[in-house]
Each structure stands twice: as structure tokens, then as C-alpha cells.
């Protein structure tokens, strides 16, 4: 398949690649002290969070709509309103995802495009000042 026509989902390696990225993201969140504020917003264990982000990203990246099939429309902002998300939480989420993409050796152009898209979404998720 021509890589320019491939979806980000396909470029990441399909479900296996997305799962690998999400697992690394949550492993880093759980292990790295710099992501402690972000980790504090998540339940223990992280299994449900891992699955939900994996299901969501599969569809968001152009693959199967696992999340929508299970829960309906994502309504991301509404679903995150119970959690205080400010600049620090946004920035930790982005740093953690960038580190996960780097460690998963995501192709640089794809990583840059995903970072830009993630940044817009992460910024939109903020629901408190600071």
C-alpha cells in the first residue's frame, strides 16, 4: 500500500502497533516521576484506561471504531470534565505520549503529525486555568 494513502492506523502497524504505543504510554505514566500529576488522575490499575484509549485511538487514527461500538460517541471533553485538567496535566500527557512515540520508534513524520493532532486535542481538554 502506498504510505501516503495509508491511514495513521495503518502506518502504526494496525491494532498491534496502536496497542504497543498505548501500553508504552501507560507504562511510562506509571513509572516516570515527571508524569505523577497525570498518573494521579487515573485509577489503579490502569487496565481500563489502557483499553479505552486503545479503542478510541484505533478509530481516531482511521482503523476500527472499537470505542464507538462499545460506548457510542466519544464526547471526550464531557467525559473528562470530572478531572481537573490544566496546562500541567496537558503538558504531562503530551510529554508522555511523545516519549512513548519516540521509544516505539514511530517514523518521525508520522510522530510529528500525530503530535500536532494530539496537541490540539489535549489543549481542548483543559477545563481549568493553569
- Separation CA 79–CA 74 (nearest Å): 8
pLDDT digits (tens, 9 = 90+) for 50-96: 999 999 999 999 999 999 999 999 998 888 888 999 999 999 999 99
pLDDT confidence bin for 4, thresholds 50/70/90: low
Q: What is the domain partition of the chain in residue ranges?
A: 13-124
**13-124 maps to which CATH number?**
1.10.490.10
What radius of gyration, in Å, describes the C-alpha atoms of the chain?
Answer: 14
Residue that is written with C-alpha cell 513524520 in the block: 109
pLDDT digits (tens, 9 = 90+) for 102-130: 999 999 999 999 999 999 999 999 999 87
Amino acid at each position: 500500500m502506498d504510505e501516503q494513502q495509508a491511514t495513521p492506523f495503518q502506518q502504526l502497524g494496525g491494532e498491534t502497533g496502536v496497542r504497543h504505543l498505548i501500553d508504552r504510554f501507560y507504562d511510562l505514566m506509571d513509572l516516570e516521576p515527571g508524569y505523577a500529576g497525570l498518573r494521579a488522575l487515573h485509577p489503579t490499575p490502569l487496565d481500563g484506561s489502557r483499553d479505552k484509549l486503545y479503542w478510541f485511538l484505533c478509530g481516531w487514527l482511521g482503523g476500527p471504531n472499537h470505542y464507538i461500538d462499545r460506548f457510542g460517541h466519544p464526547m471526550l471533553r464531557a467525559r473528562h470534565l470530572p478531572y481537573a485538567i490544566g496546562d500541567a496535566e496537558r503538558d504531562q500527557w503530551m510529554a508522555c505520549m511523545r516519549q512513548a512515540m519516540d521509544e516505539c520508534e514511530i517514523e518521525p513524520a508520522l510522530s510529528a503529525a500525530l503530535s500536532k493532532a494530539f496537541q490540539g486535542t489535549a489543549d481542548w481538554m483543559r477545563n481549568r486555568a493553569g
